[in-house]
Amino acid sequence: MCLSCHNEKPDKAHGREVIGCHLCHRGNPLAGTVQRAHQGMIKNPGEFRYAQQTCGATGCHPDEVIRTRRSLMATNRGILSTLRYYWGETDSRNEKITVDSITETGLDSPAVDYYRKLCGTCHTGMEKGTLPGFLSRKGGGCTACHTSNPEGPNAAKGIFHVQMIKAVPSENCTRCHNRSGRIGLTYQGKYESEGYGTPYEEGDLSSTQLEDGRFYQKLPADVHYRAGMICADCHTQKEIMGDGHEYAHLEQQLEVQCATCHTTVENLAKTATASSVPYGQWKHEIDSVREPRLNIEKQNGQYFIKGLADSKLHPLHAPSPDNCMQPAHRRLSCQACHSPWVPQCYGCHVQYNRAETQMDKIRGRETPGRWTEFKSFMRFNAPPLGIMTKHSLSGDSTAHRPSDQYQQGKIVILVPG
């Protein structure tokens, strides 16, 4: 009945021939009129307010929905608790505070107001399409990550349904991961330059701009990006979607580090074994599986990581015994030597104007007070190094997390700003 009007093909696994339209979009598939057919219809089934009944239905992805709603990308707990701690509003960096809790309680303070107006678009619980401009593409629950651009080759055929995808493209990640440490931009070789629009092109501003208007220059991209690897090749499902526990900070949810792949043959054998566990068995034993589930394969005595998007095999090399394994270098993080450049922001300041208003991204409306961020200048020369002490990290990480090595006073990159 739906297909008498809609010529749509989401993907093979979610195809209309497999599960139909009603299972995800609800409505009344047996109605004979448009009005009756669309009653109770859900346009975006991936939104967290519907996900338990749609994506999380029995026989689909119930475990994943529960875990994702507790993940840092949904709660933003680390951003909120750290802001409030450094602004002197709480005594703990591990405060159990989430986007949902500030919405339910109406909590407001300078730090929370700053979050609401400048940071609040980057959490998966935000409803897609509720904010203006490029911000409308953020959020959407499950579909924040697992959809591709609908304006693809099928649009010419009248098929506008987004394509559901398993291998999340990097552009979906960098939609949010492009500020703060600029990790998403740096990975692609994009250096957020000064806001002057240089180098000028034929007397006009540079055409290399991000969708929010920031200018950037092209520098050497990360070696993994140049090899064709996407973010999800290294960042596992447990890292991104969580493992069911509520963590306060990013380093607690991480399970993969450089040495996970660039290690000894013996260690790679363990990771490859964990990766070979059937998915249906693995996802129900998620707390007991400590080795990260990476797409690692062994061929002709050599270990490779297989690209999720293109199935390309990337050889995994052990660290250099002459350099990386030197006793004096064991305290260095890999990034300390292997980062050709790092964006550095100097003179970062925040200005607050009580007389103006600004869009509260959580409430979805203008409220009194406007926050403005500005910086003195940007640089990308050799990064300064510093010591990450236990005091600078939260103290409740678990033993299997890679953050433990940092708590021994390991040297890591500290980027100004």
Residue-by-residue DSSP string for 47-114: SHHHHTTTTTSTTS-HHHHHHHHTSHHHH-HHHHHHHHHHTTS-S-TT----HHHHHHH----HHHHH
Q: Which of 26, 60, 256 is nearest to 142 (CA)?
A: 60
Question: What pLDDT score was predicted for residue 154?
Answer: 63
* pTM attached to this predicted model: 0.85
User: Using alpha carbons only, what angle is made at residue 348 by residues 212 and 409, rounded to the nearest 5 degrees?
Assistant: 110
Kindly state the average pLDDT of the residues 249-270. Answer: 90
Segment 374-386, tens digit of pLDDT: 888 888 987 778 8
Range of the domain at 309: 263-318
SS3 at position 193: coil
Residue 355: partners with Cβ closer than 8 Å, 6 or more residues away: none
Is the pLDDT confidence value at 192 over 80?
A: yes
Asked if residue 241 belongs to a domain, the reply is no
- Claim to verify: residue 398 and residue 336 sit in the same structural domain: yes
Asked if residue 387 belongs to a domain, the reply is yes
Segment 8-62, tens digit of pLDDT: 888 888 888 888 889 999 999 888 899 999 999 999 999 999 999 999 999 899 9
Say if CB 8 and CB 160 are below 8 A apart.
yes
Q: Would you state the structure tokens that stand for residue 121, as one six-digit string?
A: 């678009």
- Claim to verify: residue 271 and residue 339 sit in the same structural domain: no
Q: How far apart are CA 139 and CA 176, in angstroms?
A: 9
- Claim to verify: residue 268 and residue 303 sit in the same structural domain: yes
- Claim to verify: residue 335 and residue 388 sit in the same structural domain: yes
Beta strands in 131-201 (DSSP E): 190-192
- Claim to verify: residue 337 and residue 273 sit in the same structural domain: no
- Claim to verify: residue 304 and residue 335 sit in the same structural domain: no
Asked if residue 200 belongs to a domain, the reply is no
- Claim to verify: residue 409 and residue 339 sit in the same structural domain: yes
Asked if residue 385 belongs to a domain, the reply is yes
Q: Which of 357, 347, 334, 343 is nearest to 412 (CA)?
A: 334
Question: What pLDDT score was predicted for residue 290?
Answer: 59
Backbone angles phi and psi of 71, in degrees to 5? -80, 165
Is the pLDDT confidence value at 397 over 50?
A: no
Segment 155-180, tens digit of pLDDT: 666 667 888 898 999 999 999 999 88
Average predicted confidence (pLDDT) for the chain: 86
- Claim to verify: residue 332 and residue 416 sit in the same structural domain: yes
Asked if residue 384 belongs to a domain, the reply is yes
Q: Which of 131, 14, 144, 135 is nearest to 71 (CA)?
A: 144
Q: How far apart are CA 299 and CA 276, in angstroms?
A: 14
Place of tokens 């004096």: 328
Asked if residue 48 belongs to a domain, the reply is no
Number of domains comprising the chain: 2
Question: Within 10 Å of residue 268's Cβ, how many Cβ atoms?
Answer: 22
Is the pLDDT confidence value at 399 over 50?
A: no
Asked if residue 214 belongs to a domain, the reply is no
- Claim to verify: residue 312 and residue 271 sit in the same structural domain: yes
- Claim to verify: residue 338 and residue 410 sit in the same structural domain: yes
Q: Which of 167, 241, 239 is nearest to 13 (CA)?
A: 167
Q: Higher-confidence residue: 146 or 390?
A: 146
Asked if residue 49 belongs to a domain, the reply is no
Instruction: For the chain, give the percent of residues with pLDDT over 90.
Output: 55
Q: How far apart are CA 50 and CA 52, in angstroms?
A: 6
- Claim to verify: residue 339 and residue 414 sit in the same structural domain: yes
- Claim to verify: residue 339 and residue 271 sit in the same structural domain: no
